[in-house]
Structure 1
Amino acid sequence: MRSAAAVEPPLASGEKLIRVGHSPDPDDAFMFHALANDKIPTPGYRFTHDLVDIETLNRRALEGTDLLELTAVSLHGMAHLTDKYAICNCGASMGDGYGPRVVARQPWTVDDLRGKRIAVPGTLTTAFLSLKLILGDDFEYEVRPFDTMLDVVEAGEFDAGLVIHEGQLTYPDQGLHLVVDTGVWFQEQTGLPLPLGCNAIRKDLGAETVNEVTAILKQSIQYGLEHRAEALEYAAKWGRGLDDARNDEFVEMYVNDWTLDFGDRGRAAVRELLKRGYEAGVIPEPAEVEFVG
C-alpha cells in the first residue's frame, strides 16, 4: 500500500490528490485493496494512504490542522465534525447484532462492571460512546492502544477492557470472558444495528469531487467483494493473530452490504445513536449529519 509519506511523482496536470486515512486492520485493508493496489481506474485523482488507529484519525480530523480529504472516523467522532465533513454513503462499518466487546478475566455481568477500571481504545470511538450509554458515568477508564487491550486485561492492569477490531474474535485465546457485546445491547434497545465507523469526506472539496471520490470508494469496496480471495489475502497482512478462517469471519462482519450502502435503516441507526449520545450528555450538541453519494 502506498503511504502518504512515500516519495510521489508530481501530480499530472489537472490531477487531484486525495489523501486517505484508515485503520491498519483487515476490514479497512479489504475495503481499500483495489484502491491501494491500482485494481481500478481513478481518472483525475491520485490516492495516498495513511494507516493509523481510529482514535488518531478522530483527533486529527477534530483538530483540523491538516484535514485529510477522505478519512475513516468513528460515528462518535463524526458527531464533532459535521461542519467539516460529510458521511460517504458507502464505507460503513456496521455491527448488525454484534460490535465492540467488554471482556474481563472473570465471567461477570454488566452490573459487575460498575465502579470498575476499564481500558478503552479512545474517548471518541463509538465503542466508548456505547459503553457510556450502557454504564453512564459508573466506571473509571484509561485510554490504551487498541492492540494492547487484551494483554493489559490479562495481566491484571485493568478490571476489564473495551475491545475493537480483531480482538473481538481472539479474546478467548487469552482466557478472557465476554461481559457485554455493545452491538447486541444496542440492537436490543433500538432494534437497529450499531453504526461504528464511516468514511468521511471534506465538504470543501465541492460537490463534483465529493461525488466522484465517493463513487471510486464504492468501486473499491465492490471490487473486494467480487474478488474476495484476492482481497482477503491482502487484508491478512493486518490480521494480528487471525488465521485465515477468522480473517474471513472478521472481514465479513464489517465489509458487506451495509458497507456498499448505509440504506435507510443504516442512516436511521446513525441518527438514533447520535441522538442517544446527546441525550446522555456524551455528545455536547445535537449532531445533524449529511450523507453524500
Structure 2
Amino acid sequence: MLVRVGFSADPDDAFMFWGLASGTVDARGFEFEPVIADIQSLNEWSLDGRLEVTAMSAATYPRVHERYALLPHGASFGSGYGPVVVAREKLSLDELRNEEIVVPGKLTTAFLVLRLALGGEFPCRVLGFDEILDEVASGRARVGLIIHEGQLTYGDAGVEKCLDLGEWWLLETGLPLPLGVNTIRRDLGPENMRAISDILRASIDAALEHRDEALEYALGFGRGLDDVRGDRFIEMYVNDLTLDYGDEGRQAVRELLERAHAGIEVEWVQ
C-alpha cells in the first residue's frame, strides 16, 4: 500500500522521518513516499484529503477531523516559545492591533493564536512564510508573523521581536503551544491506521537513538540554518511531547481548539 506522508521542509519534520528515509525502520510492506511542501499547502491539501498521512497546523484540524484522525506522536509544541511577531522597531500589543501584519497563511496555528492574542480580527496580508522576514526588513511591510526557522534567524535581518506567541500562550494558559500535528486518513481503516502509526512512532524513536545521523539528514532541510541553530531548532520541536502528547499535550490541543470555538471532540489513534 502506498502511503504518502506530507511534511514541511523543516529540520524537525525531516528528523522525525529519518528512521524511514534511512531504512532503519521496517516499513512492514507499506510503501512510504515523502511529500514535502510548505505548511499552508499541506493545510490546503488536507481539505480534500489528498495525502494518506500529513502534517498540518493544529488550527486546521477542526476543518478535516471527519476525514483525518490525530496521530498520538509527531506533533510540534512550543514550550514557552513559538512563532514571533517582528517589526523594524518594537511595538506594543496595543500598537500591533492597528497595524497590517503580513502572515504565512490563515490556516496556520500562528495566525489563530495571533488573533487570540490581539483579541479578534486584524488587518493582514498573506505571503509565503519564507518571504515575510525580508518583506519586513526591507520596509515593504511594517509587521510580520514569523514561523519555522525564522524564529531563530530574525535577529540577523535587523528586526525586533514584538511578541512571542508561545510565551504569550504559556502565560495565558500555563500550557505548551501545539503548532503542528500529524494526522492519518480515516478511510485507511483501523488496522492500517494503527500499523502506520506504530511505524511512524518507530521512525521518531530511531532518529532519537541515532541522533547524529538523523541530524545530518535533517540539516539538509534547514533553509539557511547553520549546524548549531539547526540542532537547536530540532531540540525545540522534537521532545517528549513529540513522542507522545501525554495528558499535558492533549489538554493543550483541547484548550487551543476550545478557544478557537472548534466545537469538535478531539480523539487520537490508539
Taking structure 2 as the reference length, what is the TM-score of the superposition? 0.97
Shift of 1:289: 2.1
**TM-aligned CA distance change 1:137 to 1:158, over 3 Å:** farther
**2:232 aligned partner, one-letter code:** E
In the other structure, the counterpart of 1:262 is 245
In the other structure, the counterpart of 1:49 is 34
**2:29 aligned partner, one-letter code:** G
Instruction: Give 3-state SS (helix, strand or coil) of 1:34's partner.
Output: helix
Kindly indicate whether residue 191 of structure 2 is the aligned counterpart of residue 214 of structure 1: no
Cα distance in 2 between the residues matched to 1:50 and 1:208: 23
In the other structure, the counterpart of 2:24 is 39
1:240-279 CA deviation, whole Å, 9 max, x = no partner? 221111000001111111110000110010000000011x
Cα distance in 2 between the residues matched to 1:156 and 1:133: 26
In the other structure, the counterpart of 2:268 is 291
In the other structure, the counterpart of 2:177 is 194
| Structure 1 unaligned residues grouped into runs of 5+ | 1-15, 279-284
Write out aligned runs for 1:106-255 (5 A).
Answer: 106-137=89-120, 139-255=122-238
Question: What count of residue pairs does the alignment treat as equivalent?
Answer: 270
Taking only aligned residues, the RMSD between alpha carbons, in angstroms, comes to: 1.1
User: Which aligned runs of 4 or more in structure 1 are off by greater than 2 angstroms?
Assistant: 136-139
Kindly indicate whether residue 242 of structure 2 is the aligned counterpart of residue 273 of structure 1: no
1:48-82 CA deviation, whole Å, 9 max, x = no partner? 011001111111111x1x52110001100101111
Kindly indicate whether residue 70 of structure 2 is the aligned counterpart of residue 87 of structure 1: yes
Identity of aligned residues (%): 53
**1:170 aligned partner, one-letter code:** T
Shift of 1:138: 5.3
Cα distance in 2 between the residues matched to 1:138 and 1:76: 15
Cα distance in 2 between the residues matched to 1:24 and 1:30: 10
- Comparing 190-199 and 129-138, the one that deviates more: 129-138
Kindly indicate whether residue 44 of structure 2 is the aligned counterpart of residue 59 of structure 1: yes
Instruction: Give 3-state SS (helix, strand or coil) of 2:183's partner.
Output: strand
The answer to whether the 8 Å contact 1:80/1:287 transfers is: no
Cα distance in 2 between the residues matched to 1:41 and 1:159: 49
Cα distance in 2 between the residues matched to 1:288 and 1:116: 35
The answer to whether the 8 Å contact 1:108/1:179 transfers is: yes
Cα distance in 2 between the residues matched to 1:67 and 1:267: 26
The answer to whether the 8 Å contact 1:107/1:179 transfers is: yes
1:126-163 CA deviation, whole Å, 9 max, x = no partner? 00000000113453111111111110011112111111
- Comparing 137-146 and 163-172, the one that deviates more: 137-146
Cα distance in 1 between the residues matched to 2:190 and 2:256: 27
Instruction: Give 3-state SS (helix, strand or coil) of 2:89's partner.
Output: coil
| Structure 2 unaligned residues grouped into runs of 5+ | none
Instruction: Give 3-state SS (helix, strand or coil) of 1:292's partner.
Output: coil
Kindly indicate whether residue 47 of structure 2 is the aligned counterpart of residue 70 of structure 1: no
In the other structure, the counterpart of 2:13 is 28
